[in-house]
A and B are shown apart, each in its own frame.
Chain A
Amino acid sequence: MLAFQSAEFVQQIVSGLATGSIFASLALALVLIYRSTNVVNFAQGEMAMFTTYVAWALMDRGLSYWPAFVLTLLIAFAGGATLERTIIRPFERKPPLAIVIVTIGLLITFNGAAGWIWGAEVKPFDSPFPNTTWEIGDVAISSQDVGVFCVCIMTVLALWAFFNLTSLGLAMRATAINPTASRLVGVRVGWMLALGWGLAAVLGAVAGMMAAPTVFLDPNMMLVVLIYAFAAAVLGGIDSPVGAVVGGLTLGVVLNLIGRYVEFIGPELRLPTALLILLAVLLIRPQGLFGHAVVRRV
């Protein structure tokens, strides 16, 4: 009996890691934009949802999964960068409220547009991974969970490599830290910001396509995921990429375990619990687990 329980415990952790990796991808997208432009992009989830619909439309036209996947990532990148150049850029030096409103406008627009173009009814979304389970001892691990986890983590690692091993990545990091100085040494700051939005859109597209087989495709599919991603990003520290990933994975596992084992909370109250965790962390450590405390000069 006890062996069975511990096996289930491990299973819960594994599936928690899979959902957590989706949160982590979207949280990383938020952090990426926040670090470079100081904007919290409320439309991030809806952009992810929209690109997932694009992937669905491509597959509906007869493309097989992985070509559609890659093509969607390219479209997402172009779309994200275009959005920054055209809509976000004019608000760069405006008060934060203006940008928040604009991203909310984008949220509403994308949400409405997806329903308008593709209809509001829920659609199934194919999974690239076989629907099998692997038995390791007593523990049954679904290949679906492993696949989702691997794709998300590989994307994150690829991004890490891009930021740390290429000169373009270095330029982007420099822009995030000190745009003025970067401009002086010849970095094209505006394009770096657009690049950041593009990469964030790519991360969102990955998160959306990985989430879609389980939550199904509908215009509101990413709204809840976005909130978990926010919680993950704040938990890890809104300016820390490592924090976003760790925060996302932790949140995924913790929520899964709480939803399963704490009777009072159950699956229904997982989201409010995430909110409470968020508030508790912020009370004790306002900068999050890995974030940097903001020091204000007077």
Chain B
Amino acid sequence: MRYAGLALKLALLAFVVGLIALVPRFASEFRLSQFTFVAVYFIALAGLNVLTGVSGQISLGHFAFVGVGAYTAALLMLGRSGLESYGLDPPGWLPLGDGMRGVFTIPLAGLVAGAFGYAFGLPAQRLAGVSLALATFAFAVSLPLVAKRFDDVTGGGGGLALPLPETPFGWDVSTRHWLYYEAWVTAGVIAVIAWLFLRGRAGRALAALRDGEIAAVSAGVNPTTYKTFAFGVSAAFAGVAGAIFAIEVAYVNPDTFPLSQSILMLASLVLGGMGSLYGVLLGALIMQFLPVYAQTPPLLHGSFSKESPAVVFGVILIVIMFVAPDGLVGLLRRVLRPMMVRLRRHPAATDETTFGTSRRAET
């Protein structure tokens, strides 16, 4: 019965993966694009989870790194010739290439955003806890302004229209389906990377730093190295999400990446549950669907103005912090654990006791 827990975990994983794989069979094209965004948010939130959930650093500006990734992908997809055809004048030292297929920009966007995150994390490490939140907050507000200012590269407030996505390699699926699979396969890869990262040396070091910095430092963990590393990794994930975002929307604009999205991101992660990838998945669903449903709450009839979702969202956030500070996953776990224990005890109880007694008898 030692493997019951593992089997249950695998079954849950298979269930979730199966569900994701089956969505395209039943969903309309519109729903499918919504679920593609869930994948985008999943990747971005997995990044934020590395930073906030595991390493305990608060970032209020993570959607800005999504923006960095999206712009990287956009510039690479258009290439120098594409940008010049818009009448833009990118400086000569930028290695833009001459137009790249969307898929290949994804890892590059991750690298660029990761480098941004690393560079930002380096000085930000001197800011403990809350000051870091402030600095990232300011970063999120600054980025759209900077993008607008350097309009000879970014196209300014008008944004950049990208080549419309199409199914590559002559495959026989619709473009929406292709984008869905592309996004979720990337999300799967990111999930595996995140899982390995958190299970490995770095993840343990970060968790140790979060839970007791002094003890961790005494045990030989260098806080600056690991925390900056975490910042870089989490920004890189956000950049990957940004590239898929840009490919899916086929358009980037500085105002697509406002501060409010960054705040929504942190809020969704907390609502979903930090520290676990299922929490991240729930968070991604929340980030995509709660703002939509908060606009027309199912229980309260009548139409609300545009601003009511914000109120509903804010109140939900505070209430969740009251009743379930570990998010929905924590809440589920608290509800399910007693059931699991009972489940395990009933059929397993005899098994385990016989095992125990037999061993005792042997000795």
Interface set of A (CB-CB < 8 Å, partner B) = 40, 42, 87, 90-91, 94, 96-98, 100-102, 104-116, 119-120, 219, 223-224, 227, 230-231, 234, 238, 266, 268-269, 271-272, 274-275, 278-279, 282-283, 286, 294, 296, 298
B311 part of interface (Cβ distance < 8 Å): yes
Known: A91-B321, A219-B307, A282-B127. A104 touches B146 (CB 8 A): no
Q: Are B142 and A271 in contact (CB under 8 A)?
A: yes
Closest 9 CB pairs of A and B: A112-B310, A109-B314, A115-B307, A108-B314, A105-B317, A112-B311, A272-B142, A105-B318, A275-B138
Number of A-B contacts (CB under 8 A): 138
Q: Are A268 and B145 in contact (CB under 8 A)?
A: yes
Interface set of B (CB-CB < 8 Å, partner A) = 52, 56, 58, 60, 123-124, 126-131, 133-135, 137-139, 141-142, 145-146, 148-149, 214, 218, 259, 263, 266-267, 270, 304-315, 317-318, 321-322, 325
Q: Please indicate the chain B residues that have their CB under 8 angstroms from the CB of A110 in the complex.
A: 314
Q: Please indicate the chain A residues that have their CB under 8 angstroms from the CB of B311 in the complex.
A: 108-109, 112-113, 116
Known: A108-B263, A112-B307, A112-B313. A100 touches B145 (CB 8 A): no
Where chain B touches its partner, the secondary structure class is helix
Q: Are B321 and A102 in contact (CB under 8 A)?
A: yes
CA distance A134 to B39 in the complex (A): 60
CA distance A186 to B136 in the complex (A): 40
Q: Are B149 and A269 in contact (CB under 8 A)?
A: yes
Q: Are A282 and B126 in contact (CB under 8 A)?
A: yes
CA distance A40 to B131 in the complex (A): 9
Known: A100-B133, A223-B259, A271-B142. A115 touches B148 (CB 8 A): no
Q: Are B134 and A283 in contact (CB under 8 A)?
A: no
Q: Which residue of A lies closest to B146 (CB)?
A: A272
From A119, A279, A298, B135 is in contact (CB under 8 Å) with A279
Q: Which residue of A lies closest to B259 (CB)?
A: A223
- For B134, B142, B148, B315, the residue with the greatest tally of chain A CB atoms inside 10 Å of its CB is B134
Q: Please indicate the chain B residues that have their CB under 8 angstroms from the CB of A279 in the complex.
A: 123-124, 135
Q: Are B308 and A112 in contact (CB under 8 A)?
A: yes
Q: Are B263 and A109 in contact (CB under 8 A)?
A: no
